[in-house]
Amino acid sequence: MLLLSIWFSIFLISGVIGDDSCVAGPTSCEDTPYRSLDGSCNNLDNPSWGLPYTRYGRILPAKYGDGISTLPVAKSGKPLPGAREISTSLFPEVNITDRFLTLNTMQFGQFISHDLSLTVLGGSQSICCSPEGQMLNASSMPQGCAPISVSDDDPDYSQAKIHCLALLRTTTDLDRGCKISGTKPAEQLTQVTSYLDLSLIYGNDEKVNSQIRKFQGGLLSTEMRDGQFWPTNSKNKQKDCPFAVKNDVCYYATDDRFNQNPQLLALEVLFYREHNRIASRLSEVNPHWNDERLFQEARKINIGSYQNIMYYEWLPELFGRKVLISEQIIHDTHGYIDDYQDTVNPAVLNEFSNAAYRHFHTAVAGSLDLMKEDRSTENSLRLSDWYHRSESLEVNENLFDDLVRGLNTQHQMEFDRYHDKEISLYLFRGKQSIGRDILAIDIQRSRDHGLASYNDMRQFCGYKKAITFRDFSHTMSHQHIRMLEDLYEQPDDVDLYVGGSLESRLPHSLVGPTFRCILLEEFYLARTTDRYWFERSSEFTKPQLAEIRKASMSRIVCDNSKDIRSMQENAFVAPGSKKTLIPCSELPAIDLEMWKEN
């Protein structure tokens, strides 16, 4: 049974929905066939819902140290255990691969997260520590900093004499002065729309989008190199690709994270090219359509395909199809689904973006296989060598295809408490010998956002609130309970991200019960609050919807790579486990003749 009705009542209590706003949206809306770029007027009665620079939503009320904005403390009033200490104690590097799922399962997850969420920061992270990596005095600490302390006996950073990991707090409605009452808890702001609308490809407003459009034939701007189309080069390489060397390619894009890592880049380029492939074909089917019509229709089809892939290919591998149907995340139908919730705010849940969904970091692999058409591995890339470097896709003319084959063949890492040091020690290291720790950042960021404790969220998701650590035995192993006892004073102190990451996985699920509860809430919310969801009767004709339902990640790969000739039916399941490779020509394809106007 869905928890949405319970959640919505709490959502109202938490003060996230209110009269005070950080964004002045339009005062009236026209019911158009195409979604806006900034999410405005998706909800006709509440035009500013889902806009960039609006608040995250919450399942449970914020839990700050002072009730307003300071970092949480233990129930006793003492400081919580350090984020870096928790990282080294609970989340070490142990390489265990998933038995069935490809690395694309993890990577598509990051692709989605960049579509739904981007916290607003008020400046550079670096100001929160000294240039030598030392903690600043309280008197000289810039406002808005929440640096992570590193102990003298840290197994890694102590050798580099680093005692401070910089972290700038997320900008809130209090910081922006857009909350009427200063007695309400601070709510963080997100920079992107709350909808699954490929905003990481198309941008979040008209001005940014105009910089990637060709304004001819409905196309996005591209450059041709080695017989392949690529996004255009950035005019500000230092900003978009800070670790690039002098002659590196660096893509201009609508999202600052576009060039973050090779596999994310690969997916972004595939969907970027897919837009142009659709637009080009539509111009043949309907030669009388102008540039704007071609752009909007291609974007609409591209987003619909993406939503179908996410809900009917990707999500079933995370939770199982039966659970998704029983929780009404998806429906067992070939027809329309009209359960749009126009009275519910689509704001992305804070517990989702800054706790449950970050558990995907456990599946990251530090070495990326490059594979030939026969799926033999001839080489690999070290992840930390290629952060923020688009050149990773164009070292040679075959590298993009080799990387994409590897992404859809190499197994992701197991969903457990272990993490690769490429992200827990060498994250964004650039030319340095050591980088950042994503686990420490995840923990500190969840505290920055004042997320409810693991114990509180666990109770919301149907379990009795733990009085002693042993009461966690319904959701995690005795070994993990003992680990928590060694770090925390009592059950109410356990961070949501930490407790959820240690839960035992449910059958047919990649996560435990608390994280599954949060994730399902968000995926239900994202679908039912989107007036332009691809399965609504207003979006496509029945023949067109039948074509959209043919969309698959494997077909996106086949249609937008240079020399990939075969793929498994489901790109998220490794070939040789459940599926085998088949010729691209035999994969179902969307017939764009269904969009022909007589």
Contact call for residues 223 and 229 (beta carbons, < 8 A): yes
Question: What's the rounded Cα separation, in Å, for the pair 215 and 401?
Answer: 29
Distances (CA, A) of 47 to 342, 488, 577: 11, 44, 47
d(CA 363, CA 318): 12
474 assigned ligand-binding residue? no
Q: What whole-number distance in Å separates Cα of residue 570 and Cα of residue 254?
A: 29
Q: Which of 305, 310, 344 is nearest to 330 (CA)?
A: 310
C-beta separation of 109 from 266 below 8 A = no
Structure tokens at 404: 């994409």
Q: Is 578 helix (H, G, I), strand (E, B) or coil?
A: coil
Marked catalytic residue, from 114, 275, 359, 449? 114
What letter does residue 537 receive in the DSSP assignment? T
What pLDDT was estimated at residue 301? Answer: 98
CB–CB of 461/475 below 8 Å? no
Nearest C-alpha neighbor of 594 from the set 373, 282, 171, 226? 282
User: How does DSSP assign 68-107, residue by residue?
Assistant: SSSPP--TTSSPPPPHHHHHHHH------EEEEEEHHHHH
Q: What is the 3 state secondary structure string of 299-324? A: HHHHHHHHHHHHHHHHHHHHHCHHHH
pLDDT of residue 109: 97
Backbone φ and ψ for 149, nearest 5 degrees, come out as -80, 140
Residue 578, pLDDT score = 55
Cα–Cα distance, 534 to 545 (Å, whole number): 8
Mean pLDDT in consecutive groups of 10 residues from the start of the chain, 598 residues? 43 41 84 96 96 97 96 97 98 95 98 96 90 93 96 95 96 87 87 97 95 97 95 91 90 92 97 98 98 98 98 98 97 95 97 97 98 94 95 93 98 97 96 95 98 98 97 97 98 98 96 98 98 97 98 98 97 82 97 95
Which DSSP string corresponds to 249-306?
--B--SSTTTTS-HHHHHHHHHHHHHHHHHHHHHHHH-TT--HHHHHHHHHHHHHHHH
The closest alpha carbon to 518, from 439, 572, 437, 456, belongs to 456
Is 39 exposed, middle or buried, given 0-12, 13-18 or 19+ CB atoms closer than 10 A? Answer: buried
- Which tokens belong to 545? 């919807």
Closest CA to 504 of 478, 465, 534: 478
Q: How many helices (H) and strands (E) does the chain have?
A: 21, 12
Tokens of 340: 């749009």
Of 520, 522, 548, 521, the residue nearest 534 (C-alpha): 548
* Known catalytic residue at 275: no
Please answer whether residues 510 and 522 qualify as being in contact, where contact means their C-beta atoms are separated by less than 8 angstroms.
Answer: no
Of 211, 163, 159, 285, the residue nearest 544 (C-alpha): 285
